[in-house]
Chains A and B, each alone.
Chain A
Amino acid sequence: MKSIIKIAALILFLLPVSASAQQFKHSKQVTVPVSGNCDMCAATIQKAGNAKQLSSVSWNKDTKIATITFDSSRTSADAVLKKIALAGYDNPSFRAPEDVYAALPGCCKYERAVAVQPAAQHHQMQDHKPHEQIQNQSLLQPVLNNYLAVKDALVQSDGAAVQQQATALQKTLEGISMSSLGEKEHMAWMKVYEQLIAESKVMAAGKDVAKQRRVFIELSQHMYTLVQTMELTEPLYWQFCPMYNNGKGANWISKEKEIQNPYYGSQMLTCGRVAATIE
């Protein structure tokens, strides 16, 4: 009786082992060198290649050899190796995408068997230089310039000047041809341009600085959305005055790092801080 239990226990114990060694219906096994460095690589490689009832991979970090077991009726070694390459690991069949390799953690950055020849890269760079120069100056630069002029007029607390500059801003905004903007700028532009025009209109409607400042809060927020997508020639500063607007605070964009508060002007010229640098 006891022996039967023992045998049964043994069978129960063995079953899962033998099952895991022969997981698949049409099981096939190959060994393939796969690049990599460390235990982290092993984890990534195995995770990429393992699939329930389809394939399993074990990678040896000393030999750099992957043992791939798979169901040959439903997949192939190549298919598994493709997944491994897409996770960042070169092998004799596939080379990982450049950006995926670049995103690997530092410790995993193995030496690649096939290096990309600099000549090829160089050639491509040259091709695109003139393109980049044209694109360097954003089409939205005039909008930004007008905005900064409005801001400067507010710093001076000069309602008439604000009116003048806001009118200029409105004109510039209305003259932007959306279809010539880059993809990202375009997305941001769509989100905010209606408000920007409306706000500049309000600011251009009178000479009351207090009123203009209240609208300037919104105008600045919308400009900020836009500016973040622009190709900038020099950094900008996203500045914050914690007092204005009943202590809720308000932001503005400036070219200078030093605070020149447009919400209070000479009253409290240097109140505020840099909240972010936009480059």
Chain B
Amino acid sequence: MQKRHFWSGCLFVIILWSACSTWAQKVVRYDLYIQDTTVNFTGKTKRAIAVNGQIPMPDLHFTEGDTAEIWVHNQLEESTSLHWHGLFLPNKEDGVPYLTQMPIAPGATHVYRFPLIQNGTHWYHSHSGLQEQIGMYGSFIIHKREGDKTVRKGIDDLPVMPVILSEWTDMKPENVHRMLHNANDWFALRKNAVQSYTEAAQAGKLGVKFSNEWKRMLAMDVSDVYYDKVLLNGQTELQFDQYNQQPLKAGDKVRLRISNGGASSYFWLRYAGGKITVVATDGNDVEPVDVDRLIIAVSETYDIVLTIPQEGLSYELLATTEDRTQSASMYIGNGIRQLISPLPRLRYFEGMKMMNDMMKMNGDMKDMGMNMSLNQMDMNMVMYPEAMNAGGKGQQMDHSAHDGHSNGMQPMVKKPGIVTLNYAMMKATAPTTLPDGPVRTLTFELTGNMNRYVWSLDNKVVSETDKILIRKGENLRLVIYNNSMMRHPMHLHGHDFRVLNGQGAYAPLKNVIDIMPMETDTLEFHANAEGDWFFHCHILYHMMSGMGRIFSYTPATPNPLLPEPKKALRMLYMDDRMPHFMAENDFASNGNDGMFMLQNTRWSLGTEWRLGYNSMHGFETETHLGRYIGRMQWLMPFVGFDWRYRKMGHHEVERNLFGQTNTKDNRAMLSLGVQYTLPMLVQFQAEVYQDGNLRLQLMREDIPLAKRLRMSFMVNTDKEYMAGLRYIIHRNFALSAHYDSDMGFGAGLTVSY
């Protein structure tokens, strides 16, 4: 891979060190110029945001005790903000637009100024819209003071490099967000993870697929978005071969300060040179622990120590997305690059089977009494081919006792078990017990609905809830249960929490915790600040869908940067209230068939049309405005308006299954109805019109027959029916053929947005 320098020559770094020597405290100033730019990671030129001409944003270095003064010059045509992830700072410096400050307007300069009262590996990113996805992330490193008694020999004195992970998609992030909400399976197609009926049959898992759809689940993946590239410090490949002008050599240890600045990707980290020693997380030291691999959740940071085993080789540190479709490499040392084997493709149908077992018919998850917590058991392991090969069990089976495992697989390679990091393995280097204070327990259930991409806490999004009031001096204990099908990295602004992990007084401190489906984790923190602090899922598209809460210190202290807090809060609520648009039209030989839809967390407004090319075929539109009910949103009552024009033959009378008649060529009707998702994802609709006519209808669209082939059908009591096939050729285009009781057979091109 070639390195890509997309910023044009003038890479200007503006770092002004203005030391106020009269005081021991030093002010460290950075100037950040935020500009629109274009990048080319894939052969196509796309818009991105660069800061001081670069992606990622520049590494910011400080020493504990310094005062950071960061001048943000917004040269974009839109507003922006910067959040200092993991830092303890005054609320007005936290960088959440409409919550802790007003957005930084285009052309404006904003100064963040706060003392640094901690150390460690942190990072910073835009908290405005989806800007983080297109370049606004960077490392924020606070070094320990010289002579700090927490300085660890052999760790804090190693050659060190900050590394920030991220992903790139050529699609506009707004479009990604919209497609996710429309359950578009284009991403799955790109990842070869559609899990269609044909693929299920080939894998001998047809039954699994049926029971999956019976339980009203769409095919799942470990992550939602397909990315074109994975980046380390903005590049697909990095080399760490020297430090302070000294080449790295065999026996040297290096420390990497790794932050996951990805918008929605988790990364596996594996090293070709042996064990990975984890020494800190989220900016907090932990006792060194040796592992073979770790997964870094969105927005977490880990400090790891790696050893260069041998002269003449440099060793690959491979960062692979959890869905294993993309990876980026970093080579440590000098010489021929020693590779590590890539992670094999996931076994999706094993995962589907596992999901079937874990999912009750009502959409709740059941953990089968496993009391899962702290990432100790990765249920996705059933999908990992490498986990099944490892373990070092030599089994001698005779042929009568054959099981599915050994069929058609390579001879088992004897490998020692793979040690994967989990939260229970981490131990703080000093006691972290909270100061005395009244203890209050808050419980949260992480909830979600993959089909409609609604993500929430206790089935409520940010805009549907009040702020959670807390008092300074309290100790808050959060018990969080994940009752959704995806994992969520939950992040608390402005505080570190203790992760109660069985290490007693030495529970590790973090500010992000990844909670897998069915896990329950207990966190606690001391309320020692003022103001409003966001607590949210850090998957960007989940956060923008409203998966969060606001912790608000009471009594409230006025924030000088928010002159109209009520109005500002309404703006903040806009994020998850925003409706998502989709539209589709089939230009077929027998007519036009299409729909458009506007949907948000609870509401849906949609119009369908069938327009023939002549009046005998007729023109027909149906508009529904409905509200989704319940957590799984299977039920939607709606009001409707139908309009139809069709030229009927002389004395022709239409009669429905109930014997109700209709003779009108031209018909405009109001209706009341209800839609319900049945097992197998079939939509049942019952609709009563103002003339008393009743219509019942069954419909299903997008049945995944094969990777690119979708089937649909509709049948109703007006004796109308339809069946169709679509072959997807592009994100926006499909070839289609259908038979319709009104318009007969037709073929054409379906265009969708």
Question: Footprint of B on A, CB under 8 Å?
Answer: 74, 76, 78-79, 82, 85-86, 90, 92-97, 99-100, 102-103, 114, 116-117, 120, 124, 127-128, 132, 178-179, 182-184, 186-187, 190, 194, 228-229, 238, 240, 274-279
Contacts and interface: CB of A to CB of B under 8 A. Distances in A.
Contact of B339 (A96, A240, A274): A96
Contacts of A74: 43
Contacts of B340: 97
A127 B274 CA distance: 11
Listed from nearest, the 10 A-B pairs whose CB atoms lie closest are A97-B341, A120-B309, A277-B396, A95-B338, A184-B391, A276-B397, A275-B401, A276-B401, A94-B337, A95-B336
Contacts of A114: 312-313, 336
B387 A82 contact: no
Interface string B371-387: 10100111001100001
A103 B414 CA distance: 11
8 contacts: A93-B336, A95-B313, A178-B377, A184-B393, A186-B377, A275-B401, A276-B396, A279-B393
Contacts of A95: 313, 336-339
Interface stretch (B47-55, B162-170, B417-425, B560-568): B417-425
A183 B417 contact: yes
B1 interface: yes
Interface in B1-52: 1-2, 43
Given A116-B310, A184-B391, A190 B418 contact: no
Contacts of A116: 310
Nearest to B390: A184
A124 B341 CA distance: 19
B395 interface: yes
Given A79-B1, A190-B370, A183 B341 contact: no
A85 B339 contact: yes
Given A78-B1, A114-B313, A276-B397, A184 B387 contact: yes
Contact of B272 (A97, A128, A274): A97
Given A184-B417, A187-B382, A228 B395 contact: yes
A86 B342 contact: yes
Contacts of B381: 183, 187
Given A97-B272, A275-B398, A229 B393 contact: yes
B391 A229 contact: yes
A90 B413 CA distance: 21
Given A103-B413, A179-B424, A93 B272 contact: no
B405 to A, nearest CB: 10
Contacts of A97: 272, 338-341
B630 interface: no
Contact of A194 (B368, B376, B390): B368
B245 interface: no
Interface in B251-303: 272, 274-275, 290
B1 A178 contact: no
Contacts of A240: 400
Contacts of A184: 387, 390-391, 393, 417
B398 A99 contact: no
A66 B490 CA distance: 50
A77 to B, nearest CB: 10
Given A103-B413, A183-B420, A184-B391, A279 B341 contact: no
A194 B413 CA distance: 31
Contacts of A102: 413
Contacts of A96: 339
A128 B341 CA distance: 22
Given A116-B310, A275-B400, A179 B377 contact: yes
A102 B246 CA distance: 35
A277 B195 CA distance: 37
Contacts of B407: none
Given A178-B377, A183-B377, A229-B391, 10 more contacts: A76-B2, A82-B339, A93-B336, A99-B341, A103-B413, A117-B310, A127-B290, A183-B378, A229-B393, A276-B397
Contacts of B401: 238, 275-276
A103 B410 contact: yes
B408 interface: no
A102 B396 CA distance: 22
B154 interface: no
A114 B250 CA distance: 14
B394 interface: yes
Contact of B398 (A76, A79, A178, A276): A276
A82 B328 CA distance: 13
A102 B418 CA distance: 18
Nearest to B342: A86
A97 B275 CA distance: 15
A133 to B, nearest CB: 13
Given A275-B398, A276-B395, A279-B393, A86 B339 contact: yes
B692 interface: no
Contact of A94 (B1, B339, B397): B339
Nearest to B337: A94
A157 to B, nearest CB: 27
Contacts of B369: 194
A92 B336 contact: yes
Contacts of A79: 1
